Structure 1
């Protein structure tokens, strides 16, 4: 088929590669513009732009598509059979949704209608879901509301992290979209409306979402750490305001909370929670890299009785 691909982050790259390897004609790739990055703040192209250019594909990166009829016409002039969208980052106006012969398909990292929105990977882990997955849907004007062409699930375990789930769903989405397009060029599989029941929304995350609230249960804190690492990252503070980033932790079901929430209760960085105890296993202090707890404690001892978090945590 004659395709347009639209995506920006690492999540989208496997789908681009899979479509290229399947022999589809990718007439253009749309991605977010290069952004300042690193200490020198030099402009860095997105992962999708880098992958597309390595494949010799034409890349476009408009800053905005809203009220841009010239962009809409340029998109329509590509005469694409279908556009594949995977974490692109810009809302497609209706003229662009209508331009490809078979419309625009979105690779969404959740089992719709659960976790529509910006952070489906993290939200599934935060909520303690037992499964996640990928939905290929026909795009329409609403936020992730379009009818579904294909939907496949993967299990979530107590060890699942945002990083591992991201990679699993990225690979799954690439496989699914290739299978979708293997149908006859004249049409796609028949889409089915999303159920009206079970709709939830995954909000856009901010840095403050990573603040550990020690009043929560050990299991909830563990899910937050697994869901929000590496971005936006989870953190707590010492009494002097020093920020400690938390990279990994392990709930201890055999150790009930024996102190006020946020209190370190032993020499292994076990912390009392609102319900239960959790042991911090990877930490980072300002100006240092993330390290295992044993190495961290050699540089900054945190004895039993140390309180983590602000008085409001």
Structure 2
């Protein structure tokens, strides 16, 4: 089937859909709605594609009637049947819904009002999670299931979607609601900590909640509750810090804030940054609550498990150095196997572009950042005393993928999408010139780096990028991963694997050789800006809308540029 993905951005859900549909044998092309200044230009593109089905897994723009009246056009809405409006997840989190859902419905004149093709429901996570985590987890899984059903029904000439009025409503009070306004999100620091964090979760990762801390206007993100607070502090006072987060007094407990943004209308840079880069008050160091901890280590017999968490996958220089120190400590233990895992939301996307952009000297900060993440990769590649396993628990891109490939064994959670290439005018480092060809061969490595296309877990296993794929369910995946690691810790398996690893290392150049060659190229990208890194970085950080759909995604444009791939 010829399918057009009409989307506002090629985000994580769209990438999952793109990978799954192609794997199922469909002819899939992508068009970004924001690049069209007029409805007529979008209509012309759809006429040129002439798809059998238009799927919109992530679309903030209205579909012109000239399109949905001629082609079956299905919108994936992140709400149950009867829910309408652009802030569905914001309301679901803030109003403490217990059950939520996803609905696939036909595009019609009124937004989210069309007849239903498929719907799914799921229990809302407890404890409450952020909007980004909800979207990338239960919502994305439900959306994928809906889209699979939609494609099957689209192949049936006799199928007709069902009017919403004739559909059962598992969330009986689902209704049309307007876009959530700033006033709807506001809180006072004297309120209970749980209420404050829930409001921040409902706006994370965008737009954040506008508030004041220490007399400064900021948007806050990445929050968690900690028990207790010194009574001598007024609500809204910064009382401590830890890692990159700050602790703020509330009406009853303490709220930790990991990231903030000073808006431009308040004299700020308008860039979301680690909180301690904005607030440098002389306050004591305090233990960070579990949800915001960057690393946790536990030992189970002969297996060490090092879990790391980075907000939105971006790893700053300071974060890389702290995680590297934790990794080096874990590698020094007398365990046989070390498992390196990310969070359910992401593994890593490499260096932190926001921190780099906001630095007084972006080129120098980028240089420090790439050297810091290389320290992580070098520690994994150079380890000879333990067998290392990297687990892609969530999405990964660029240097984050290469970080995982530095391990001896690489596994992924089903549904995870990897972007194993560099973009934005960067050659790339993270020892990828050694680890990527080692896994997939030079020809496939070159193809991955030049095609710049996403690869889901199953396809990654098919080309040797990962060794195994585990369950999608988080708890089942953790159990599966623990069993896998324990099996490699068995004396016979472990000895054989270490011997094979030693033979490979003896036949290669040292990691410093690859790092030096890669860094020589990166220096030209950072300091000479030979490929436009500064402008690309600025556009990314500023969320500049694309001016065209990338040709690598828009198969319908290939003939226009003479690409026969």
TM-score (norm 1): 0.68
Structure 2 match to 1:78:
49
2:62 counterpart (91, 103, 106)? 91
Question: 8 Å contact 2:17–2:144 — kept in the other structure?
Answer: yes
Write the deviation string for residues 177-219 of structure 1: whole angstroms up to 9, x where unpaired: 1232124723375432224963434543566766543354433
Between stretches 234-243 and 255-264, larger displacement belongs to 255-264
Write the deviation string for residues 63-85 of structure 1: whole angstroms up to 9, x where unpaired: 231xx3x6535524533222111
Structure 1: distance between partners of 2:230 and 2:163? 47
Q: 1:150 to 1:3 in 2, by over 3 A?
A: same
Question: 8 Å contact 2:236–2:249 — kept in the other structure?
Answer: yes
Structure 1: distance between partners of 2:159 and 2:213? 56
Question: 8 Å contact 1:234–1:247 — kept in the other structure?
Answer: no
Structure 2: distance between partners of 1:207 and 1:172? 29
Residue 163 (str. 1) matches residue 132 (str. 2): yes
2:91 counterpart (99, 123, 138)? 123
Paired residues for 1:240-255 under 5 Å: 240-241=215-216, 243=218, 245-250=220-225, 252=227
Q: How many residues align?
A: 262
Residue 290 (str. 1) matches residue 280 (str. 2): no
CA RMSD of aligned residues (A): 3.6
Structure 1 match to 2:3:
3
CA deviation after TM superposition for structure 1 residue 174, in Å: 2.4
Structure 2 match to 1:21:
23
Write the deviation string for residues 99-139 of structure 1: whole angstroms up to 9, x where unpaired: 11xx211111111212x121222221111111222111122
Structure 1: distance between partners of 2:275 and 2:45? 49
Residue 182 (str. 1) matches residue 155 (str. 2): no
Q: Indicate the SS of the match to 1:151.
A: strand
Question: 8 Å contact 1:117–1:204 — kept in the other structure?
Answer: yes
Higher helix share: 2
CA deviation after TM superposition for structure 1 residue 161, in Å: 1.3
Structure 1: distance between partners of 2:49 and 2:238? 63
Structure 1 match to 2:32:
31
TM-score (norm 2): 0.40
2:249 counterpart (271, 276, 289)? 271
Q: 1:185 to 1:216 in 2, by over 3 A?
A: same
What 5-or-longer segments of structure 1 have no aligned partner?
34-60, 304-313
Question: 8 Å contact 2:90–2:180 — kept in the other structure?
Answer: no
Paired residues for 1:219-230 under 5 Å: 219-230=194-205
Q: Indicate the SS of the match to 2:103.
A: strand
Between stretches 280-289 and 127-136, larger displacement belongs to 280-289
Q: Indicate the SS of the match to 2:89.
A: helix
Higher relative contact order (CA 8 A, sep 6+): 1
Question: 8 Å contact 1:207–1:232 — kept in the other structure?
Answer: no
Structure 2: distance between partners of 1:12 and 1:202? 25
CA deviation after TM superposition for structure 1 residue 279, in Å: 2.8
Structure 2: distance between partners of 1:225 and 1:71? 36
Structure 2: distance between partners of 1:80 and 1:283? 42
Structure 2: distance between partners of 1:107 and 1:219? 31
Please say which structure displays the higher CA radius of gyration: 2
CA deviation after TM superposition for structure 1 residue 296, in Å: 9.0
What 5-or-longer segments of structure 2 have no aligned partner?
242-246, 263-268, 285-565
Question: 8 Å contact 1:225–1:249 — kept in the other structure?
Answer: no
Structure 1 match to 2:37:
63
